Amino acid sequence: MSESYAERLAQGNPQAAAAFQLGQIIEAVDTARATVEKAKPKVWHFASSADVRAAVDQEQVADGDVVVVESERIVGFVVVAWPVAITEQFGGFRAYSLLGKPARDYCEGDYIPSIERAEQVAIDLGYKLADPSAAQTARITAGLPVAFETPRMLVEPTDVLHAFGARLTVVDTGVRINPATSQGEWWALVEGATEDDQRRTYRGQWAFAVPVANAAWDVVTVERVLPAPSA
């Protein structure tokens, strides 16, 4: 194979050689990025789930591609000749439950890249996933808060506490002795997480207390950003 002018120039000039090597590195990185991007499942947006079915039948979308119908709040992925929803809403798609197992276990995990991308699209759009466990995992991976139950005594500042028919951002918590009763009590300083929550409770910050005897066994629901599981 004949040498290019740049290669011949690089042989006798250190600066040209360095520039030539840099160009090769950039080209290799660009090629690798293009390969990774090409390997990702494509995301297609349609006006209706019926349009998705038609596109799949006509082979306009490929096996493993992600399909989105925002008008019906549906996100799914294509399994050979059928779009399968990963959201609670499924319209003309196959319902998630028809897979018969968690999506990541379907076909021995062949569709995991499609499922992960579909879940991220659904989370970004604010759609509810059909698999609660997958929804929890997807939100944790995305660094978003998840709702779970915890002993009241383990509630932390910045948690969003579900109480009094509202979502309350926890500003601070602690344990103190109530001088009126000489009994210990768990207390929390909170404020409504949204304007609607503030209308349901109080406009500003406010506090409430629960006897330690009750708080010690009480279980509450909070929202919190949890650390992502290690790979």
pLDDT tens sequence for the chain (231 residues): 455 555 555 566 666 555 556 565 555 545 444 443 455 899 999 999 999 999 999 989 999 999 999 999 999 999 988 999 999 999 999 999 888 888 888 888 899 999 989 988 998 898 989 988 888 888 888 788 989 999 999 999 999 999 999 999 999 999 999 999 899 999 999 999 999 999 999 999 999 999 999 999 999 999 999 887 665
> Which residue in 93, 74, 72 sits closest to 84, CA to CA?
93
- The DSSP 8-state label assigned to residue 87 in this structure reads B
Q: State residue 35's pLDDT score.
A: 41
- CA within 13 Å, CB half, 185: 14
d(CA 120, CA 140): 11
Q: State residue 109's pLDDT score.
A: 86
Q: Is 171 helix (H, G, I), strand (E, B) or coil?
A: strand
d(CA 119, CA 87): 8
Q: State residue 228's pLDDT score.
A: 74
- The number of residues making up the chain comes to 231
> Which residue in 150, 129, 153 sits closest to 141, CA to CA?
129
Strand partners, 43: 66
Q: State residue 42's pLDDT score.
A: 95
Handedness of CA 179, 181, 182, 188 (dihedral sign): negative
Q: State residue 3's pLDDT score.
A: 59
**Hey, how many other C-beta atoms are within 10 angstroms of the C-beta on 80?**
9
Strand partners, 94: 84
Between the alpha carbon of residue 108 and those of residues 35, 82, 112, 115, the distances in Å are 24, 18, 9, 13
**Start-to-end C-alpha separation, the chain:** 44
CB 164 within 8 A of CB 200: yes
Q: State residue 32's pLDDT score.
A: 42
